[in-house]
A and B are shown apart, each in its own frame.
Chain A
Amino acid sequence: MNIRQQLTQFLSLAYVFTSAFIVWKSLSIIANSHSPIVVVLSGSMEPAFQRGDILFLWNRNNLQKVGDIVVYEIEGKNIPIVHRVMREHHNFEKQLLLTKGDNNAVDDISLYSKKQQYLNSKTDLVGTVIGYLPFVGYITILITENVYFKYGLLGILGLSSLISNE
């Protein structure tokens, strides 16, 4: 066993992880959003977005426009929802939004908190969708929702690291 080689390998692995982290955080700062890239998890925006598509977000608009596709989070629920703005009401202080999924028959009022009729564009939004990549995010859905895939992937990674050490 060569300790120097081991250390170099460890260093290059750390390098991969830190550069990924740096890219993610830089995007976060540029887009002013805590998650600048999201994966679509539901079919409520079909045919525009399918499960597994990747969306790029931008969160520096002062006002959202009707027709914008926004990602929002409801207090107490951790799932980000991607839907289109259907109505907006604003004054100098704040903007209220009502959203709806293209593929849903009715607006989102039943998805909001109890007694909540509108989203507040300052506090509830993660960002506005500006760009789109199809299907690439499906791997994260496989990892989070399919245990066989998850452990299979981990197994292959572990096995390959053992083999490459020879």
Chain B
Amino acid sequence: MFNLVTRFQAATNQALTASVIITGVVIALTILQLFKDDVWNLQTTQVTNFKPTSNWKYSYQYGSINRKPKENTKLQFNLKTDLSHLFNWNTKQIFIYLTAEYPGKSTGSSNKITYWDKIITNPNDAKLDLKNQKSKYSVYDVEKSFRERNATVRLEWNIQPHIGPLIYGSTEELGQFQFVTNEKK
């Protein structure tokens, strides 16, 4: 009865059950920790000094089709925040990103774009104080131009655990800026 195969089966069964239980406990503890640390709030965040710029582009990577002009925008800003409390024993990385939201043409339409993002894996790098940070991406709209609309800026983050659920958070509105449009060359 107790040959090699049944012993092996019993051992793997035991190991599997144990790891499922341990995983469940770790995830439950992580969620409790996240609530305790209040990781959905970044009270002290300041993003200021917005400097939007614009450019006309004619290549496919910049959103242009058939060499038609497409407006690309960038945003320079200052950012001050402290993400230390988002880290705990089950945090693999924090992905932090600066978004701008602006209305579309029709009612009920809306757009949100990312100008800048950063991956932070070390809690020692969690204090950010960036001056005149340049935009990481050159951003175009679904329309030809941004038409000098107003945009709302937020700082958002995604907490990635070693094991378990992905957590997302966002600040309230941190400020507004108006897209500038250059005369077409």
Contact = CB atoms under 8 A, between A and B. Distances in A.
Interface of A: 47-48, 65-69, 84, 86-92, 96, 102, 106-107, 109-110, 115, 117-118, 129-134, 160, 163-164
Contacts of B109: 89-92
Contacts, number: 91
Interface string B87-110: 000001101010100001010111
Interface of B: 3-6, 23, 60-61, 63, 65, 92-93, 95, 97, 99, 104, 106, 108-114, 119, 121, 137, 139, 141-142, 156-158, 160-166, 168
Contacts of A132: 160-161, 163-166
B123 to A, nearest CB: 15
Given A132-B160, A164-B5, A102 B166 contact: no
A130 B167 CA distance: 8
Given A91-B106, A92-B108, A92-B109, A67 B163 contact: no
A90 B164 CA distance: 30
A88 B60 CA distance: 18
A90 B141 CA distance: 12
B94 to A, nearest CB: 10
B164 A89 contact: no
A160 B163 CA distance: 34
B23 A133 contact: yes
Which one of A87, A92, A110 has the greatest number of beta carbons of chain B within 10 Å?
A87
A87 B104 CA distance: 13
Nearest to B63: A117
